[in-house]
């Protein structure tokens, strides 16, 4: 057992594992271990997206509070998610983002042959990468798919795929892709677009930026930290399909604007290696273990962090 697993317990919160997540703090108390919780999924946002009403959203927040109030430190992936947790009465929230492999996701992977096969008439290639699920609101890209001189590519699959295909008859669906194949597709695009408003971070946005792409995304959640409006792409009104199309159209019409925004996006993520993020996580472990009241095991009740 490593030093860190012997002295601190860390777990990530996913809806499908909520029961085990709630049991983790109890196990930690029994073992006299401090606890760090990693917040990853906007469960209340999902409750809204799946139309469970106010009662469903309130229940989701109760579950999130139950889990995270039992932790000595919660790590949130973005300033928006950290502020949301803090406003809902969850203390000891700190920022811890995500890394990106800038070696794999690199503009150098651009493939002329792939571009010819995907855009035989020389269209500007616009890409969406991610799950096809109701909360992703991929249907909002209908106007983007109809932009003249452009072609929308959808990479991914999920439970809403049939509905998305019906909403986007003009888009090209490539299915799920992984590894070097996915990286080659990213690098061969011209613009990346994201439509969902429930992202606590937005890893595909970061991968697109590493691939040298300008990004258009909603001004909500994780994208607020990842897209610098007017510099690395555009942030638009959440849920507004017309705003998405207008921002993408601006980039479609201006190759020099695309190039400048893509270069700026790449430069912004170069320092976000997984090594740097791993070192930051170890720093959070160290801070919790060294906090006043922490013996070898679980610290006494205290404030160990703030948003």
pLDDT for the residue 298 = 39
pLDDT for the residue 88 = 84
pLDDT for the residue 102 = 96
Give per-residue pLDDT as tens, 257-278.
999 999 999 999 999 999 999 9
Give per-residue pLDDT as tens, 275-299.
999 999 999 999 988 876 554 443 3
Q: Using an 8 Å Cβ cutoff, are 27 and 45 in contact?
A: no
pLDDT for the residue 25 = 67
Q: In angstroms, what CA-CA distances link 277 with 206, 208, 250, 282?
A: 14, 18, 34, 9
Residues of the chain with pLDDT under 50: 1-18, 295-307
pLDDT for the residue 23 = 66
């Amino acid at each position: 057992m490593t030093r860190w697993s012997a002295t601190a317990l860390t777990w990530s919160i996913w809806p499908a594992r909520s029961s085990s997540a709630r049991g983790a703090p109890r196990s930690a108390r029994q073992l006299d271990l401090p606890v760090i919780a990693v917040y990853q999924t906007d469960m209340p946002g999902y409750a809204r997206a799946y139309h469970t009403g106010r009662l469903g959203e309130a229940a989701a927040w109760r579950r999130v509070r139950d889990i995270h109030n039992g932790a000595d430190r919660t790590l949130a992936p973005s300033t928006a998610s950290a502020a949301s947790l803090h406003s809902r009465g969850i203390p000891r929230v700190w920022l811890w983002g995500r890394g990106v492999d800038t070696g794999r996701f690199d503009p150098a992977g651009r493939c002329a042959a792939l571009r010819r096969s995907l855009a035989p008439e020389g269209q500007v290639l616009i890409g969406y990468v991610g799950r096809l699920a109701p909360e992703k609101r991929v249907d909002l890209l209908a106007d983007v798919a109809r932009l003249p001189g452009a072609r929308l590519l959808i990479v991914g699959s999920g439970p809403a795929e049939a509905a998305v295909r019906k909403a986007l008859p003009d888009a090209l669906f490539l299915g799920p892709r992984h590894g070097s194949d996915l990286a080659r597709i990213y690098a061969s695009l011209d613009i990346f677009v994201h439509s969902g408003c429930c992202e606590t971070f937005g890893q595909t946005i970061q991968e697109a930026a590493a691939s040298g792409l300008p990004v258009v995304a909603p001004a909500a959640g994780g994208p607020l930290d990842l897209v610098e409006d007017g510099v690395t792409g555009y942030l638009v009104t959440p849920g507004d399909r017309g705003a998405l199309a207008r921002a993408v159209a601006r980039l479609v019409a201006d190759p020099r604007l695309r190039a400048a925004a893509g270069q700026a996006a790449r430069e912004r993520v170069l320092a976000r290696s997984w090594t740097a993020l791993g070192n930051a996580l170890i720093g959070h472990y160290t801070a919790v273990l060294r906090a006043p009241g922490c013996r070898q095991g679980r610290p006494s009740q205290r404030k160990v962090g703030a948003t």
